Each structure stands twice: as structure tokens, then as C-alpha cells.
Amino acid sequence: STPIFYANGPPHIGHLYSALLADALHRHRALRGAGPGRLSTGTDEHGLKIQQAAAAAGTSPPELCKRVSGLFRQALAQAAVSFTDFIRTSEPCHQQAVRHFWGALQDSGALYKGSYEGWYCTPEECFLPESQLAERRDAQGRLYKVSLETGHQVHWTKEENYMFRLSAFRDPLRKWLQDNPKAISPDPFYQRVLHWLEEDLPDLSVSRERSRLQWGIPVPSDSTQTIYVWVDALVNYLSVVGYPERHGEWWPAAHHVVGKDILKFHAIYWPALLMAAGLAPPERILVHSHWTVRGQKMSKSLGNVIDPLACMGQYTLDGFRYFLLRQGVPERDCDYYDEKVVKLVNSELADALGGLLNRSTALSINPSNTYPCFSESCFPKAWDHRQTNGMGRASAEDYELVASVASLPLQVANYFESFQIYKALECIALCVRHTNGFFQRHRPWKLDRKDPAEQLWLDTIIHVTLECLRVFGTLLQPVIPHTADKLLSRLAVEPEERDLSGLTFLPRYSGKPCPFEGRQLGPDTGVLFHRLEATRQCQKPRSSG
């Protein structure tokens, strides 16, 4: 699942990054043949912030949500995010799930009514303790308080609300994390949550006065209160799998992809609420950091919010997907600037991968336009590549290449499993570079095709290169689906031959038959990936929502 995105403004690259991480994991899982899977996303449509944004825009909350939700659905579809479920928290089935969940909390004795006062941050929709506040002065020199993390202003608020007994869940939460060290990844975020559980864990306000907040789900049996927006939003992960009747088929096999700013809600409040309602916590919470722009935080006031649709138009869909997933490191903030996108995508997709395909399928090198035969006499099986002198035509470096590409699928699978997609892409890029080195080293264009021995070696060079490309194309499907499809189609790899469970590399080297050998290549559709030109930055105008 992705987080459901707050419907008070259009999508930016932070939203897209969350969705692409989830999409790549979902696609990779499907290619492994790991059984049925779902990818859920959607929009979070209740709360004071939306009530205020609608008023400022001169529209009603339902109209604003309908428009913004449409923008998110469009952006995710354009980014080829393979979501199976798109949930809107304003939908009746979700509201019914929230009411049932509230009833389960009430029945367990986890709720009580109490007077609550504290510093409330409307943009974050939560109360903040003094330890998370800082003082600022306005233009007139008057002091006011802001959230230490976001800089948003807070206001002292006092009201009678329903409270959730969060303090009672410190030990169950600790036990859950100690028993499941992979529950939160990467590890620095797991450690952060353990640290939070050592600190004060006050009970949580889970409703607001209806007079302050009309745009939300009323508390069942108490029309003076509205259910707190975060409780409402978190339940989307249950309502999307059919809670309260059919969720058992899927829950708790949920992997939540979330930004670090909403870690506490997902790693402390949500598991505690689930335990109170008699349900298990999610299987995994996968946490990522933020994108800055040229070292600065993205903000509407700075006018540096990056528009994902403009970026996909400028850098192509696959180019932008590749950049975000190749450069995004979940445990630390990543910096965006246009020159970086152009340089990376041109170097790794256009030149290295595209150039390799172009050179190895060119009619001057491969006039028969086939997947040529592999010669075991030119490239004999070696148990130790350091002892290959005098054997065949292959060098020690060639044996190293074969070993590194053979181990690549497992390496990539392990990196996907440990939520390090960027490392998987780094390994693939390195192997692409080494394959280019192999092709360059043996200069197949210099070999004499009329000499039978030279022809055997020429065919072997091309066979090994195409086998490497087939592995790269198969492994890149979750990240750059269109480019990978184009590459595999050029190599005449059929749709049913593209899964990861059946992926074998260079079977002829091990004396086994290769189904591609002698096969006619697919049609030449031209350049695999066109080089990008550097142009202006993909920023939203300041006036946009």
C-alpha cells in the first residue's frame, strides 16, 4: 500500500516516489510468481485542513476532494503505477468500516471521554507536545509557536474529546517489534520507533468537536464529535480488503510504504489501534525519506514544488521512474535537480543500455538478425576463472562477467526484499557497464566472418551479450516497464518467458539447451531510449493549489 494522499492540493514528486516504490515492489512480487497480490492507494479526504482549503478556494469539501482525487488518480495512472485499488475515504464502504472499527475500540474498553488541551497543528492534523515546538516572532515582533519538524504554526486548543488508551500499549508494541525486527525497514527507522517507546506515550485524542470539524465521519452514538482524521485515514488499509467481513483473506499480510513524516502514525498509533480492535499489526512498514530541490525543502512559498506530470513529459515516463528509484535512498533525504536527471538517464539508459542493444543487434554485426549460437570451444566451462589461460577465446574478465550476471537475479531479489531498490539498480547498471566492456574488448566488428573459427567466436560474443541484455531487461521490468518491454521484444522474448521464477542465464555455458538460440530477433523499433536534452525545471507555478 501507499499512504492515502491528502486531498488538499495536487500531487508532487514526494507522493509519486511513495507510489513508485510500492509499484516496483508489487511488480517484482508478481514477476516472482509469489501468488495473488494487491496494490492499494487513494486519497484521504476528511479533516480541518480540507475544510479550510475548500473555503479558501470558494468551493465545498466534496467538490474539492473530487477534483484533487481525480488529479492523483490521473498522475498515478500516467506514472504506470499498477494499483488494483484506489480508495477515497469519503466513500460509504470506507465510512462503514471506520464506524465498525470505532465500535471494536469502544467494546474493548480502549476509549474514554476526557478533556484535552494542547498545541494543535492544523496542517499536520495533530496535537504536539512542548518538546516538539519552537518559538518564532512575526513581523510585529510577537511570539508564536511552531512545529519543530515542519515549521507550521500551532494553536492552543482545549476541548472535550474521546481519548484512546495509547499508554497501555507500550509493552505490547515493544514485544511486537522485538519479535519482528524486520517489521520496520530500514533499520534506522526501526531504532527510532524503539526510542519513541522509551519516551512518554500519552493517551491519544481520537475525536474533535463537531462544531470545529464538520467535514469528517461522526462518532457513532455521539453526534457532537467527529472521528479524528488519522484514525479515519488509517482504517483505509482495512476497508480496502473488505473489513469487517472479508479482510481475513488479506490481513495482516500488508506492506505499508510510508514517508518518514508519518512514521509515528503508522508504527505506533496504527499497530496500537489494531491491537485494541483485536487485530494483528501489519506485516511490514517500509519507510522512505524526503526529496529536497537543490538542497532546499519543497514548499509552495519557495515556488520549488516539482510537478511529476511535467517531469514525465520532459524526461519520459520510464526516465523519471528510473531516476527516482535509482537515486532515492530510503534512509536519507535525496536532492533533486534537472541536470542530475539528464546526466543519469542519458548515461545509464540511453548510452549504456540502449547503446549495448543497438551495437549487438546492428545488421553490420548480426546480418542474420538472429539470436546466434554459443560455442563451448570458444567459451569453455571453467570451475575457476583464474585458471582459464589457454582455454578457448574468453579471458578471465569474461568469466567474471558471466559470474556477476549469473548472480544478479538473486542479488536484485534480495535488495528488493530489503527495500533497497536503488542498490538493485546500482548492481544492474554495473553489470551493463561490464557487458559493454566485454563487447568493446573483443571488437566483434573486426572479426572475419569468412573464417569459420572467427565466425564461431563472433556468434559467441553476440550470444553472451544478448543473454546479458535479456537478464537486464527482465530485471528492469518493475522499474522501467515500457523500456524493458521494448528491449525484450527486440530480443524476441515472449510475454510468458519474462517472469523471474524461470529466469536462467546463459544455459549453453553449463551444457544445457538455450530456447532462444537460432531464434529470429523481434522487429527493430529504433533507438531503445532517446537521449534527453537539458531544459528548464519542472516546477509548479506558485499560484497552483
Cis bond upstream, residue 186 (ω within 30): yes
Among 249, 269, 288, the domain boundary falls at 288
Q: What pLDDT does residue 538 have?
A: 67
**Residue pLDDT, tens place only, 111-128:** 999 987 889 888 777 788
Cell of 458: 563472433
Q: Within 13 A of 416's CA, how many CA atoms are on the CB side?
A: 27
**Which runs of consecutive H residues, i.e. helices, occur in 235-316?**
236-239, 263-264, 270-276, 308-315
Q: What angle do CA 290, 293, 294 make, to 5 degrees?
A: 130
Q: SS3 for 158?
A: strand
User: In this structure, is residue 537 part of a structural domain?
Assistant: no
Confidence of residue 387 (pLDDT cuts 50, 70, 90): low
- What is the 3 state secondary structure string of 467-535? HHHHHHHHHHCCCCHHHHHHHHHHCCCCHHHCCCCCCCCCHHHHCCCCCCCCCECCCCCCCCCCCCCCC
**Residue pLDDT, tens place only, 416-437:** 999 999 999 999 999 999 999 9
DSSP string over 36-76: ----EEEEE--SHHHHHHHHHTTS-HHHHHHHHHHHHHHHH
User: In this structure, is residue 214 part of a structural domain?
Assistant: yes
**Which runs of consecutive H residues, i.e. helices, occur in 145-286?**
170-179, 187-196, 229-234, 236-239, 263-264, 270-276
Calculate mean pLDDT across residues 46-60. 89
Element (H, E) at 421: helix 421-442
**284 and 384 part of one domain:** no
User: In this structure, is residue 301 part of a structural domain?
Assistant: no
Q: What pLDDT does residue 130 have?
A: 86
**108 and 209 part of one domain:** yes
User: In this structure, is residue 533 part of a structural domain?
Assistant: no
DSSP string over 306-337: B-HHHHHHHH-HHHHHHHHHHH--TTS-EEE-
SS3 content of the chain, % helix, strand, coil (to 5): 45, 15, 40
534 has pLDDT over 80: no
Q: What pLDDT does residue 544 have?
A: 39
The Cα 161–Cα 228 span in angstroms is: 10
Calculate mean pLDDT across residues 141-155. 90
Confidence of residue 391 (pLDDT cuts 50, 70, 90): low
CATH of the domain at 122: 3.40.50.620
63 has pLDDT over 60: yes
17 has pLDDT over 50: yes
Residue 384 Cα distances to 389, 403, 509, angstroms: 11, 10, 14
**Residue pLDDT, tens place only, 482-496:** 999 999 999 999 999
How many domains are contained in the chain?
2
Q: SS3 for 155?
A: strand
The Cα 65–Cα 49 span in angstroms is: 12
CATH of the domain at 468: 1.10.730.10
User: Which one-letter amino acid corresponds to residue 66?
Assistant: K
**Structural domain boundaries enclosing 276:** 5-288
Q: What pLDDT does residue 537 have?
A: 62
328: left (phi over 0), alpha (psi -120 to 50) or beta: beta
**265 and 166 part of one domain:** yes
**368 and 220 part of one domain:** no
Q: What pLDDT does residue 365 have?
A: 93
Residue the block writes with cell 514485544: 175
Among 235, 257, 288, the domain boundary falls at 288
**Which runs of consecutive H residues, i.e. helices, occur in 168-316?**
170-179, 187-196, 229-234, 236-239, 263-264, 270-276, 308-315
Q: What pLDDT does residue 543 have?
A: 42
Q: What pLDDT does residue 305 have?
A: 76
**400 and 269 part of one domain:** no
Mean pLDDT of all residues belonging to the chain: 92
**165 and 271 part of one domain:** yes
For the chain, the C-alpha Rg in angstroms (whole number) is 27
**366 and 257 part of one domain:** no
Strands 155-164 and 111-121, how do they pair?
antiparallel
**90 and 227 part of one domain:** yes
User: In this structure, is residue 527 part of a structural domain?
Assistant: no
CA 287 and chain centroid, separation: 10
**Residue pLDDT, tens place only, 323-378:** 999 999 999 998 888 889 999 999 999 999 999 999 999 999 999 999 999 999 99
**241 and 364 part of one domain:** no
Q: What pLDDT does residue 132 have?
A: 87
**Residue pLDDT, tens place only, 208-228:** 989 888 889 999 989 999 999
Q: What pLDDT does residue 384 have?
A: 56
- φ, ψ dihedrals at 122, nearest 5°: -65, -45
Cis bond upstream, residue 244 (ω within 30): yes
Residue 281 Cα distances to 175, 204, 267, 388, 458, angstroms: 12, 18, 9, 54, 57
User: Which one-letter amino acid corresponds to residue 542?
Assistant: R
Q: What pLDDT does residue 260 have?
A: 94
User: In this structure, is residue 323 part of a structural domain?
Assistant: no
**40 and 143 part of one domain:** yes
**270 and 404 part of one domain:** no
Q: What pLDDT does residue 540 have?
A: 60
Q: What pLDDT does residue 12 have?
A: 87
Spatial neighbors of 229 by CB under 8 A, at least 6 apart, are 44, 46, 47, 48, 125, 216
User: In this structure, is residue 405 part of a structural domain?
Assistant: yes
Q: What pLDDT does residue 539 have?
A: 63
**Residue pLDDT, tens place only, 127-143:** 888 888 999 998 899 99
Residue 69 Cα distances to 3, 7, 45, 259, angstroms: 13, 6, 8, 19
Residue the block writes with cell 524493458: 484
User: Which one-letter amino acid corresponds to residue 290?
Assistant: H
Q: Which residue, among 232, 224, 167, has the nearest Cα to 206 in the 3D structure?
A: 232
Strand spans (E) along 60-190: 85-88, 111-121, 126-128, 133-137, 143-147, 155-164, 184-185
Cell of 173: 508494541
**Residue pLDDT, tens place only, 433-491:** 999 999 999 999 999 989 999 999 999 999 999 999 999 999 999 999 999 999 999 99
Q: Which residue, among 210, 204, 179, 209, has the nearest Cα to 194 in the 3D structure?
A: 179
Question: Alpha-carbon torsion 439, 506, 428, 431, what sign?
Answer: negative
Q: SS3 for 451?
A: coil
**78 and 220 part of one domain:** yes
Q: What pLDDT does residue 409 have?
A: 97
Spatial neighbors of 47 by CB under 8 A, at least 6 apart, are 6, 125, 213, 215, 216, 229
DSSP string over 66-77: HHHHHHHHHHHH
User: In this structure, is residue 316 part of a structural domain?
Assistant: no
**Which runs of consecutive H residues, i.e. helices, occur in 130-243?**
170-179, 187-196, 229-234, 236-239
